[in-house]
C-alpha cells in the first residue's frame, strides 16, 4: 500500500513539474515558476495601467509590445522574447560589448546597475533600474555559440524586488537551448 501511495505521489509530482516546462520556440525552452499565468498583450497593458498608473511615455512602450510570451506571477510581470539567430554572425565578445553600451546609455541613472555572468554555460547580461514608480530587470541571454537568444523584461513594484529577483534567477537557471 505504501508503494502505491509513493508511486502515485511521484507521478503527480512529475506531472506538475512537467506542466511548468514551456517551449518558447522549437529550440528554446524554460521552466516557468509555479503560479505563472500566461497573459495577452491587452492584459499586459490593462495590468500595467491598473497596477502602476504609468506616465504616458512609459505606457507607449507597451503599444508595440514584441513579447510573444507574457506572464504574470503574483504581482510580477514577465515578458520573454526568444530569438533564433543562426543566420546572424556575432563577433566574439558581443555580450560584453552589449553590457558596455548599456552602461554608457544609462550612466546618468543613479538607480541603474548591470552585471555579466555565465549561467549553465550561457552568457547573460542583466540590468536593473527604476523608471517612475516601476522597477525593471532586463536580461539578454545567448547560448554558447551565439546562435540562439532569449531576452526578457521583469517589471515589478519595488516592494516585490526579492520575489522578482527569485523569478529572474529561476528563469535564467532553467533556460535550455538546443544547439
Tens-place pLDDT, residues 127-166: 999 988 889 999 999 988 878 899 999 999 999 999 999 9
Which candidate, 122, 114, 128, places its Cα nearest to that of 161? Answer: 128
CATH architecture type of domain 2-177? 3-Layer(aba) Sandwich (3.40)
Tens-place pLDDT, residues 59-108: 555 555 665 789 999 999 999 999 876 656 677 788 999 999 999 999 99
Which candidate, 130, 30, 112, places its Cα nearest to that of 71? Answer: 30
pLDDT of residue 66: 60
Tens-place pLDDT, residues 25-50: 888 999 988 889 998 888 887 888 88
pTM of the model: 0.81
3 state SS for the chain: CHHHHHHHHHHHHHHHHHHCEEECCCCEEEECCCCCEEECHHHHHHHHHHHHCCCHHHHHCCCCCCCCEEEEECCEEEEEEEEECCCCCCCCCHHHHHHHHHHHHCCCCCCCEEEEEEECCEEEEEEEEEECCEEEEEEEEECCCCCEEEEEEEEECHHHHHHHHHHHHHHHHHCEECC
Amino acid at each position: 500500500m505504501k508503494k502505491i501511495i509513493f508511486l502515485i505521489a511521484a507521478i503527480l509530482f512529475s506531472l506538475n513539474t512537467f506542466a511548468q516546462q514551456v517551449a518558447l520556440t522549437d529550440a528554446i525552452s524554460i521552466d516557468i515558476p509555479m503560479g505563472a499565468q500566461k497573459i495577452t498583450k491587452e492584459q499586459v497593458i490593462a495590468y500595467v495601467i491598473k497596477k502602476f498608473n504609468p506616465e504616458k511615455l512609459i505606457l507607449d512602450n507597451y503599444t508595440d509590445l514584441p513579447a510573444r510570451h507574457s506572464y504574470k506571477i503574483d504581482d510580477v510581470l514577465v515578458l520573454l522574447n526568444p530569438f533564433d539567430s543562426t543566420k546572424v554572425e556575432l563577433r566574439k565578445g558581443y555580450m560584453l560589448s552589449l553590457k558596455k553600451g548599456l552602461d554608457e546609455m544609462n550612466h546618468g541613472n543613479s538607480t541603474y546597475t548591470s552585471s555579466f555572468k555565465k549561467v549553465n554555460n550561457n552568457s547573460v547580461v542583466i540590468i536593473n533600474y527604476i523608471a517612475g514608480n516601476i522597477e525593471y530587470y532586463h536580461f539578454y541571454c545567448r547560448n554558447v555559440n551565439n546562435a540562439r537568444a532569449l531576452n526578457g523584461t521583469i517589471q515589478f513594484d519595488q516592494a516585490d524586488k526579492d520575489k522578482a529577483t527569485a523569478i529572474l534567477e529561476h528563469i535564467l537557471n532553467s533556460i535550455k537551448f538546443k544547439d
